[in-house]
Structures are given as C-alpha cells and as structure tokens.
Amino acid sequence: MHIGCHLSTSDGFLAMGQTALSIGADTFQFFTRNPRGSRARQIDPDDAQALMDFMKEHRFARIIAHAPYTLNPCSIDERTRQFALDTMKDDLQRMEFTPFQLYNFHPGSHTGQGIEKGIEEITKLLNSIITQAQSTTVLLETMAGKGTEVGSRFEELQAIIDGVELKDKIGVCMDTCHIFDAGYDIRDNWNGVLSEFDRIIGIGNLKAVHLNDSMNGLGSHKDRHQKIGEGSIGLEALRRIARTPELSGLPFCLETPNDLDGYRREIEMLSAQ
Ligand SMILES: [Zn+2]
C-alpha cells in the first residue's frame, strides 16, 4: 500500500518529497497553484528532476497534482469555463516537468444547466486540452453531490469518460468522504461499492484514492472532511479500503484536517499491521 498526504508547495518539489518521506509517506498531493487559481509560480526544472530521482530511489507511487478547486469547467458562464480551460491547459504543460504523474480536478457544478449539459461541457473541455503527447493521466474526482455538482454518481463520471477521445489519458480519483456523502456505503459495504465501480467505470480506471473520514452521514451530500477514525466512516472501514489487494499499486492520499504530525500518526495508524 502507498500512502501520503496533501503537502504545501512552498519549498519546491524536492522538499515535498523529503517531507513526505520524513512522515512515513511514499506519495503526496499538492496544489498546482493557489486554490484561488491565480498565476502559478515558475517551475525550476532541476528541482523537478531532483524530485523524480528521489521518488525513484524511495519507490514512491505516483503523485497527485490537484487543480485549484475553485475552477468550474461546466459553469453556465462562458468566461468561467474558459478560465478553467486556460488554467488546466497551462497546468498540463507544467506537469511535463514531472512526467507520468496524475492531475486531479473537480468536474464542477452545472449551475442550473442540468447534469447532461454539465457532462457535455466537461467532455468538451477535456477534449480540447488533453493531447496524445502528454505523459500525465488526468483524473476526475468523485464528488459529494453538493448543490449542482457533477460527478457524484459513477454513471456521470463514466459518461464523461465515454466522451473523451484519448481514453488512455483519463481516469478517476475516488474520494472516500465524497462518495460516502454521495450515498455509497463504503463503511458497511465496501466490496459492493467497489464492484459497482468496476461494473460502471472499470477498476482499471481507478488511479488514486483520497482517503478521508467524513463529518457527516451516508448520503448527506455535504463534503466536510474529518480526521481518520473521528468521522462517520471510521478507522476500520478506511483501513479495509486502504488494504484492498486490487488497489495496492495506487496512491492513497490523506486530505484530513491535520498538521504534519497528525498526518504522520494517521499514516502509522493506517499502515500498522
Ligand atoms: Zn479534490
């Protein structure tokens, strides 16, 4: 099992790898830029290469770059969609400094246009930014179904994947808090949920997991992350998920409300025999 957490990018790429290793992690996640979506900082190619070497040396799983969560690729507002497109396109170019990693984004909120129109806009955006030449796999994150969010049902994510032309460049990141809040009972029926995912999307398209407990109940559509073992999913279920043999090669990434020490303890708890 590969496990890590969300880290701050402030000291650069290699520093994130070193921080991850220091807390027992062998993967991590970071924001490609400020969550508000402002201009990204310049990438130092040597620093990026140093991280790649470090990850190889320490047998890291793939790392996850997270798009600003404020982007909305399926907004009713054309400028908002264009801003998401421009930002993601630029992110994908920057991702080539750290090739063959994962780029995760929130499919967005249809803001009243309806799920189908939302799916159409997201697909269109993906087809205009994903290129054959890129090494990065783009991931659709499973959502909690808050407001008009698209992607809280496996069927919706599959509909997007169906419309994407370059299918080897796209996959899914499953967030345990989000799918529990969306109504998938991963606490009492993890195997059932995973087979449903496999039937609708295909387990081979699952490329990463966000491992979070939830402050709210099954089907609450809330999206409030909780520390591992302190929410309504619970430690036992989250340990079972993290140890699923079919998912052993994937990065599991904590996005719980923690400082580094808290993350270190959660990694210990989840990986203890
Ligand atoms: Zn996310």
Query: How remote is the CA of residue 131 from the centroid of ligand 1, in Å?
Result: 23
Question: pLDDT for 121-130, tens place per residue?
Answer: 999 999 999 9
**CB environment 104-133: b (16+ within 10 A), e (fewer):** bbbbbbbbebebeebbbbbbebbeebbeee
Mean pLDDT across 201-225? 97
Instruction: Count other Cβ atoms within 10 Å, centred on residue 189.
Output: 13
Query: How remote is the CA of residue 68 from the centroid of ligand 1, in Å?
Result: 9
- In this predicted structure, the answer to whether residue 218 has a pLDDT above a threshold of 90 is yes
Mean pLDDT across 57-80? 96
Cross-strand bridge partners of residue 109: 149
Cα separation, 99 vs 192, whole angstroms: 34
Cα separation, 249 vs 42, whole angstroms: 31
11 a catalytic residue = no
Fold of 2-271: TIM Barrel (3.20.20)
Mean pLDDT across 103-113? 97
Cross-strand bridge partners of residue 208: 173
Q: Is 104 helix (H, G, I), strand (E, B) or coil?
A: strand
Instruction: Please tell me the predicted confidence (pLDDT) of residue 182.
Output: 97
Cα separation, 179 vs 143, whole angstroms: 6
259 a catalytic residue = no
106 a catalytic residue = yes
- 8 Å CB contact between 85 and 129: yes
Cα separation, 208 vs 63, whole angstroms: 9
Structure confidence at residue 222 as a pLDDT band (50, 70, 90): very high
110 a catalytic residue = no
Query: How remote is the CA of residue 104 from the centroid of ligand 1, in Å?
Result: 7
> What is the gyration radius of the CA atoms in the chain, in angstroms?
17
Query: How remote is the CA of residue 106 from the centroid of ligand 1, in Å?
Result: 6
141 a catalytic residue = yes
Instruction: Please tell me the predicted confidence (pLDDT) of residue 37.
Output: 60
Instruction: Please tell me the predicted confidence (pLDDT) of residue 40.
Output: 82
Helical spans, DSSP H, in 62-168: 78-95, 115-129, 154-163
Mean confidence (pLDDT) of the chain = 96
Query: How remote is the CA of residue 208 from the centroid of ligand 1, in Å?
Result: 11
- In this predicted structure, the answer to whether residue 245 has a pLDDT above a threshold of 70 is yes
Strands 213-214 and 225-226, how do they pair? Answer: antiparallel
Query: How remote is the CA of residue 69 from the centroid of ligand 1, in Å?
Result: 6
Structure confidence at residue 72 as a pLDDT band (50, 70, 90): very high
Cα separation, 139 vs 174, whole angstroms: 9
Instruction: Report percent pLDDT > 90 for the chain.
Output: 95
Task: Delimit the domains of the chain by residue range.
Answer: 2-271
Mean pLDDT across 84-102? 97
Instruction: Please tell me the predicted confidence (pLDDT) of residue 179.
Output: 98
Cα separation, 260 vs 55, whole angstroms: 19
- 8 Å CB contact between 228 and 235: yes
Instruction: Please tell me the predicted confidence (pLDDT) of residue 272.
Output: 85
Residue ranges near ligand 1 (ion) with Cβ within 5 Å: 141
Mean pLDDT across 128-141? 98
221 a catalytic residue = no
Mean pLDDT across 237-260? 97
Structure confidence at residue 34 as a pLDDT band (50, 70, 90): confident
Mean pLDDT across 250-256? 98
- 8 Å CB contact between 125 and 113: no
- In this predicted structure, the answer to whether residue 178 has a pLDDT above a threshold of 80 is yes
223 a catalytic residue = yes
